[in-house]
Amino acid sequence: MMYILRPCAIALCLSISFTTPSAAAGEPAPEWLLHGRDATEQRYSPLTRINRSNVARLGLAWTFDDFVVRGRTHRGVEATPLMHDGVLYFTGPWSVVYAIDARSGAQRWFYDPEVDGAWARRACCDAVNRGVALHKGTLYVGTLDGWLVALDAHSGKLKWRVDTLIDRSRDYTITGAPRIAGDHIVIGNGGAELGVRGYVSAYDAGTGRLSWRFFTIPGPGPDEHPEVALARGTWGKDARWDIGGGGTVWDSMTYDPDLGLLYVGVGNGGPWPAWVRNGGERHDNLFLSSIVALDATTGRMAWYYQTTPGDSWDYTATQNMILADLPIGGRTRKVLMQAPKNGFFYVLDRESGELLSAKPYTTVTWASHVDPASGKPAISPGALYAGSPKLVWPSPAGGHNWPPMAFSPQSSLAYIPVLEMPLRFSTDAGPTPYIPGDYNTAATVSPPDPRTDAALLGASPPFAMQSVLKAWDPAAGRVSWQSAPMPYWGGGVLATAGGLVVQGSADGVLVAYDASTGHVLKRIETGLAIMAPPITYAIGGEQYIVVPAGMGGAMKVGYFPGYAALEYANRERLFAFRLDGKPVPLPDRVAPAPVYPLPDGLPTDPDTLAAGEKLYTRHCARCHAARGAKSGYPDLWNLSPAVDDAFDAIVLEGALGQAGMARFADVLDARDTLAIRAWLAADARALRAHLSTPAR
């Protein structure tokens, strides 16, 4: 346990034992006020009541279970809760905001923006939300369908809302938390896979009036601001503006109040392959996969750093950015740290944008290294999949995705939830039409098949599919310790002055590690996937560790081995832990689904079945998974007769629209749905025959 030793009167020493040394010293109150706790977004709490020596006593204080659930699918919970003045503020699926008592979990109010359920079709990765911003008594949330909403924090009453979308016919969504930058509220959006052009918008915190908007890439029309003109020179003259280009700011922004700079993490290109995106050429494509520093008052750019020029692998630079003062090269530098998807850990001078270091924190094969002088990666020709499929590390899920890393100034280590997996990339043959409401990536990714991809596998580092928590020394550019592997993938991270690092994972286990050694000090089984980052706060002398749980997001489409959701019924739940709490009650076991008879009388001719399979793969597989795979969406290989009868009402007319199953009448007709049904039934028949054949 770490004590800050200082001379003190007895009375003060006593009060320290009830609060915390830092709180007693007049440092930040034991609250969690901003997305990353404070302006550094380090996700590091000065609280020490729960610490190395006693965390073994951590147990359940209470849970909050009253989430708004639509239809039959439970959704991912990704929010970082905020805690102020005894109230916890967080979001659940469908952009619903909750305010609950931080001591008891009792609900104060909730606000449901009543997002159109069909909007879920526009989301790449579930109807999730990563949290609210709190500023001068007002709460801000971005909704899945593109609104920025301001609520009275006390009552939950709507103050105002503004439409942040420039074009509601395009597939924009908001899943990220708004950020406060001075007196502005800033919000971006997602949609690069579906064909949009990225931008961020800053609104006056009081009135909701638009202050400025920064487009992260050029578009088909005239350049809106000088940075767009600068970027245009880095795009092909026949660039596919009709597909949008990508560059969405779907998650991370960090504001440095001292410098007045807002750091914006820009996403991947759309479509994915740079050669398709640029009309047959390859270009760097500013400001895709870049960190852009903007003057928060004017929205003008101070500097940029592009992590992945000519991104072709979905390598977003939207991962969380942490600010710190680090001794580098004999002097203290104001740095910004990011572990973007592309596998390199970047340390930048946040005043100038100068690259201080870029070292791989996981297996990287798309580039051999980053040249310190030019700041550019040396891209491996073997990562470009224009001519033939390539196996590339990291996968499009990245070496690190949205679950935020943390940084402890006490240990000077960053704690990264690392994903270790390569995928096989290939390009779709033929032309690439823009299809509204669908993936427009022009690329296919899949795990390598040992039978057909032996050559690719032979030339690659050994295949893996796992998550690990890595303690990364940013000054030395190397791993200090790493956890045992956990199922793909691990959740966000909390670091504390009690010498703890806390992280949950898809297996439903919350683990407290010793921040300096990585020793496991406590494991708590919850039965629910934990993707969100834990937070901590103190109230009434008690320190709580709080974490939302619930499987979803990108992982909802196909469960990996080891997932809690394979064993326990998935649901949304927020856990609060404290010392000497209770054991965690596990959720109900997954009930086996009844096996329904397969429909008769459907077409069985090869052309119809082939058409059905193609349509399913194109329009449905991104949610309903693959044959036989367990996922968070209904299993279409086992439809009840009633649902099969209602197939067209569901798929063409939107009967389950509110629950997130949008209508597809814009791209399908009754002949198409018949083909899909026919193929599903035929394939289910084949699958059942296969499963009932005794193994020899």
Which chain residues interact with ligand HEC by CB under 6 A? 71-73, 120-121, 619-620, 622-624, 633-634, 636, 639, 643, 647, 650-651, 656, 659-661, 664, 668, 676
**Burial label, 11 (beta-carbon count in 10 A; 0-12, 13-18, 19+):** exposed
Check if the beta carbon of residue 224 is closer than 8 Å to that of residue 214. no
Angle at 286 between CA 284 and CA 288, to 5 degrees: 95
Do 339 and 400 touch, CB atoms closer than 8 A?
yes
Which own/partner pairs from 375-384 qualify as long-range (CB within 8 Å, at least 24 positions apart)? 375/305, 376/309, 377/307, 377/308, 377/309, 377/342, 377/344, 379/309, 379/310, 382/459, 383/312, 383/313, 384/275, 384/312
| CA 530/CA 511 separation, integer angstroms | 11
19 vs 425: CA distance, rounded Å: 53
Both structure tokens of 168: 């509601």
Q: Cα separation of 656 and 641, whole Å? A: 16
Q: Give the shortest CB-123-to-ligand HEC separation in angstroms.
A: 7
Q: Report the residue number, 525 or 635, with the smaller CB distance to ligand HEC.
A: 635
Stated length of the chain: 696
Complex with ligand HEC: residue 580 or 666, whichever CB lies closer: 666
Q: Compare residues 328 and 652 and give the one whose CB is closer to ligand HEC.
A: 652
Distance from C-alpha of 664 to C-alpha of 314, rounded to nearest angstrom = 26
**Which of 73/526 has CB closer to ligand HEC?**
73
CB of 639 vs ligand HEC, minimal distance in Å:
5
Q: Which is nearer to ligand HEC, 475 or 643 (CB)?
A: 643
Cα 31 → chain centroid: 24
Task: Tell me how far, at minimum, the Cβ of 638 lies from ligand HEC, in Å.
Answer: 8
Confirm whether 314 is a catalytic residue.
yes
Q: Decide whether 147 or 616 has the Cβ nearer to ligand HEC.
A: 616
- Of 354, 472, 466, nearest to 405 by C-alpha is 472
- In angstroms, the CA 553 to CA 467 distance is 16
Write down the catalytic residue from 256, 314, 438, 672: 314
Closest CB to ligand HEC: residue number: 71
Distances (CA, A) of 694 to 482, 593, 630: 43, 22, 22
**Minimum CB separation from ligand HEC for residue 437, in Å?**
9
Least gap, CB of 116 to ligand HEC (angstroms): 13
Shortest spacing between CB 438 and ligand HEC, in angstroms: 8
Q: CB 3 → ligand HEC: shortest distance, Å?
A: 51
> Could you tell me which of 680, 683, 684, 660 has the C-alpha nearest to residue 672?
680
Give the catalytic positions in this structure: 314
